[in-house]
């Protein structure tokens, strides 16, 4: 992994650049559309990182991670709109709700392993999506989503002119997610997570309760997803049923594989690239750019998912470790060649 002492200067430089983007004297960077697109991409990068804690670092293939992302958005908007809670209190309420939900779901799902665990989490995730989409109890407004009452949140997050504040909020959520994941993975518990991923039997031989550590990883990832869900609520202005779809979790899996599992910055980069690519490909197809192509070519290319799927296939075939894996291989090759180069003494 790219150790902290080698990467901190680069990370701080990137962070400073991101923060300064709305202040740069460049019209493209200062446009609300660009900042909105990048804010959503940063949130998906953070969400991919939270999923990487579960999938890459602990070895748990969950298809229900979107449930906690959606719970953060829906619980917070319900508390803001109906209960009159402040944004920060609603965020705390959504966080507590998601943690309790994760403990319940995780306790049930972790009675199984492997594909069975994936299917159980998928069942819980789909149950959550059905509850949201059917408007059970009249709380979710069904497929129309639940708009956020702009009068009940701080004014700095309302209006096109304040998009840069939403952008900065997305950066703050990404930094928080990165810091938590870094702290967890570098802690003794994080070492146990990695051991569970590599060989669960050895963890049991050492006398450690693997299920408890799995539940801890599951709950931390869910809590982070909940906070990111609140951020997405502010960025988009509403909670949408698609947040709870299994396709959202599958997209997170693709983001992690694209950027590289077991790599914090790789997962973030994969999420950002996937989100921006999907948005731009949709804009490209809607602009009529492909209308002149034959139907058997232009038809599939009009679907952004088809193009992203091709990119995913090429990544898996030619760079199984994702973008971060390719970087590390090139870095090791460079260092190996450098060590073989004879040093000329003066």
Is 30 exposed, middle or buried, given 0-12, 13-18 or 19+ CB atoms closer than 10 A?
middle
pLDDT of residue 291: 64
CB 47 within 8 A of CB 258: no
CA of residue 312 relative to chain centroid, distance = 17
CA of residue 67 relative to chain centroid, distance = 13
DSSP state of 237: S
pLDDT of residue 60: 94
Torsion of CA 311, 37, 267, 7, to 10 degrees: 120
pLDDT of residue 1: 45
Distance CA 197, CA 113 (A): 12
CA of residue 56 relative to chain centroid, distance = 13
Distance CA 334, CA 277 (A): 30
159 torsion bin: left (phi>0), alpha (psi -120 to 50), beta (else): left
Mean pLDDT in order along the chain per 10 residues (346 residues): 57 86 87 92 96 94 95 96 93 97 96 93 95 89 90 90 93 96 93 91 87 96 97 94 92 90 87 87 67 64 71 78 81 78 58
pTM, entire model: 0.90
CB 64 within 8 A of CB 130: no
Q: Which residues contact 242 (CB under 8 A, 6 or more apart)?
A: 248
Given 3-state DSSP classes, what are the helix, strand and coil percentages for the chain, each rounded to the nearest 5? 80, 0, 20
Domains of the chain: 31-340 (1.10.3470)
pLDDT of residue 265: 87
Torsion of CA 81, 275, 172, 169, to 10 degrees: -40
């Amino acid at each position: 992994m790219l150790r902290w002492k080698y990467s901190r200067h680069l990370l701080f430089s990137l962070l400073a650049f991101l923060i300064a983007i709305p202040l740069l004297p460049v019209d493209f960077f200062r446009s609300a559309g660009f900042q909105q697109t990048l804010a959503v991409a940063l949130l998906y990068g953070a969400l991919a990182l939270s999923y990487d804690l579960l999938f890459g670092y602990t070895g748990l293939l969950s298809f229900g991670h979107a449930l906690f992302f959606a719970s953060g958005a829906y619980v917070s908007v319900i508390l803001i709109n109906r209960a009159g809670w402040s944004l920060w209190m609603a965020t705390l309420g959504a966080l507590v709700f998601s943690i309790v939900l994760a403990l319940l779901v995780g306790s049930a799902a972790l009675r199984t392993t492997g594909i069975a665990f994936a299917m159980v989490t998928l069942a819980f995730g789909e149950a959550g999506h059905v509850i949201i989409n059917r408007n059970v109890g009249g709380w979710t407004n069904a497929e129309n989503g639940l708009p956020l009452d702009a009068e009940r949140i701080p004014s700095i997050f309302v209006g096109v002119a304040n998009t840069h504040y939403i952008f900065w909020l997305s950066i703050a959520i990404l930094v928080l997610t990165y810091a938590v994941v870094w702290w967890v993975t570098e802690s003794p518990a994080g070492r146990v997570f990695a051991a569970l991923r590599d060989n669960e039997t050895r963890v049991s031989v050492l006398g450690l309760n693997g299920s408890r550590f799995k539940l801890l990883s599951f709950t931390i990832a869910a809590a982070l997803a909940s906070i990111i869900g609140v951020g997405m609520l502010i960025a988009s202005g509403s909670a949408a049923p698609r947040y709870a779809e299994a396709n959202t979790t599958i997209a997170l899996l693709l983001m992690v594989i694209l950027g590289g599992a077991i790599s914090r910055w790789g997962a973030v980069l994969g999420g950002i690239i996937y989100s921006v690519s999907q948005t731009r490909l949709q804009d490209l197809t809607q602009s009529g750019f492909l209308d002149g192509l034959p139907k058997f070519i232009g038809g599939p290319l009009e679907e952004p998912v088809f193009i992203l799927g091709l990119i995913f296939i090429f990544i898996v075939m030619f760079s199984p470790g994702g973008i971060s894996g390719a970087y590390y291989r090139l870095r090791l090759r460079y260092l190996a060649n450098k060590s073989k180069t004879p040093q000329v003494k003066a």
